[in-house]
Amino acid sequence: MSNQKPAIAINDLTVAYDYKPVLWDIDLEIPEGVLMAIVGPNGAGKSTLIKSILQIVKPIAGSIEVFGKPYKRNQRMVAYVPQKGSVDWDFPTNALDVVMMGTYGKLGWIKRPGQKQKKAALEALEKVGMLEFKERQISQLSGGQQQRIFLARALVQNARIYLMDEPFQGVDATTEKAIVNLLKELRKAGKTVVVVHHDLQTVPEYFDWVTFLNVKKIATGPVKDIFNDDNLTKTYGINYKVAVSES
């Protein structure tokens, strides 16, 4: 790990919905170049953590820095893959067009996407194995294909940090494998990838870092050091060990 500034530094972050804390006094440093899973039970604030890094959710306290600067200053370095259900897939557009949207950030206001942006979008589609579906209306894609479109849209932003909200939710085994390979490729290229993840069994196989979250931060570190029964129990409540080893 380099000694440089962490990719993301979260200090004393508290987020509340209607006065009820969803995240409570979170301190978290995400080093550059890690492939990190964020795990925790339902309602633990995993998605909220990602959304508050991106300032989609406004925290009531705390600060967030991206490579040592406030998020707004380094916004372009961060790409976001939201949950599939966050958009209306009946929107009249096709796969290529959705991926092109990823290029809008660098274009800024008013300027229109051209050949260069189209080429980048086609490359991203190829990387996720969706090139043949580029003209397909988005509602005609399967859940796994929609997820890959979202990934391609993030890839095209050419960011240094990727934040993903449950990219494995509702996708078939083939897509899951393809996504994992993509995540590992991103890490190899030196990118920082943070993934909200549900399936505890695959954590050691897919990720090298993990953060346990349940409103408060329970633990964070390399999977080999901290992915143990003790932390699982602390995060999920009593005797989680039994549930994991039996299933």
Partner 1 sequence: MSSAQIEIQLIATLVAVACAIPGTFLVLRKMAMISDAISHSILPGLVVGFFLTQDLNSPLLILLAAASGLITVILVEFIQKTGLVKEDTAIGLVFPVLFSIGVILIAKNANDVHLDIDAVLLGEIAFAPFDRILIDGMDYGPKSLWVIGSILLLTIILLLLYFKELKLSTFDEQLATTLGFSPVIIHYGLMSVASVTTVGAFDAVGAVLVVALMIAPAATAYLLTTDLKKMLVLAVLFGCAGAIGGYWLAHYLDASIAGSITTVLGAFFLLAYLFAPGRGMLSVSYKQKRQEKEVHLLTFLLHLQNHEETSERHIKHLNEHINWHRVKARSVVNLALKNNMIVIEDGVISLTPKGSEFTRQAIEFIMSGKSSAIEEMKKKFFLFRG
State yes or no: residue 54 binds partner 1 (CB under 8 A).
yes
Please choose, out of 54-62, 120-128, 181-189, 195-203, the segment that lies near partner 1 by the rule CB under 8 A. Answer: 54-62
Q: Does residue 101 bind partner 1 (CB under 8 A)?
A: yes
* Choice between 48 and 214, CB closer to partner 1: 48
Instruction: Name the nearest CA neighbour of 74 among 56, 50, 53, 57.
Output: 53
Nearer to partner 1, 191 or 217 (CB): 191
Residue 80 sits in the site that holds partner 1 (CB under 8 A): yes
By CB under 8 A, the residues from 146 to 185 that bind partner 1 are 153, 157, 172
- Restricting to residues 190-209, name those near partner 1 by CB under 8 A: none
Query: Is 60 one of the binding residues for partner 1 (CB under 8 A)?
Result: no
- Contact window for partner 1 (CB under 8 A) among 7-15, 96-104, 189-197, 226-234: 96-104
Question: What is each CA distance from 111 to 108, 114, 154, in whole angstroms?
Answer: 6, 9, 20
Instruction: State both tokens at 12.
Output: 């004393």
| Geometric angle at alpha carbon 218, from 216 and 224, rounded to 5° | 150
x-or-dash pattern for partner 1, window 11-50, by CB under 8 A?
A: -------x--------------------------------
Question: Which residues on adjacent β-strands are paired with residue 26?
Answer: 13
Binding-residue total with partner 1 (CB under 8 A): 35
**Stretch in the footprint of partner 1 (CB under 8 A) among 78-86, 180-188, 194-202, 229-237:** 78-86
Residue 112 or 246 with smaller CB distance to partner 1: 112
- Of the candidate spans 77-85, 190-198, 203-211, 227-235, the one that interacts with partner 1 by CB under 8 A turns out to be 77-85
Asked if 142 touches partner 1 (CB under 8 A), the answer is yes
Q: Least CB distance from residue 230 to partner 1, whole Å? A: 35
DSSP state letters, the chain: --SS--SEEEEEEEEEETTEEEEEEEEEEE-TT-EEEEE--TTSSHHHHHHHHTTSS--SEEEEEETTEEGGGGGGGEEEE--GGGS-TTSS-BHHHHHHGGGHHHH-SSPPP-HHHHHHHHHHHHHTT-GGGTTSBGGGS-HHHHHHHHHHHHHTT--SEEEEE-TTTT--HHHHHHHHHHHHHHHHTT-EEEEE---GGGHHHH-SEEEEEESEEEEEEEHHHH-SHHHHHHHH-TTHHHHHHH-
Binding flag, residue 233, partner 1 (CB under 8 A)? no
Query: Would you tell me which residues interact with partner 1 (CB under 8 A)?
Result: 18, 51, 54-56, 75-76, 78-80, 82, 86-88, 91-94, 98, 101-102, 104-105, 107-110, 112-113, 137, 139, 142, 153, 157, 172
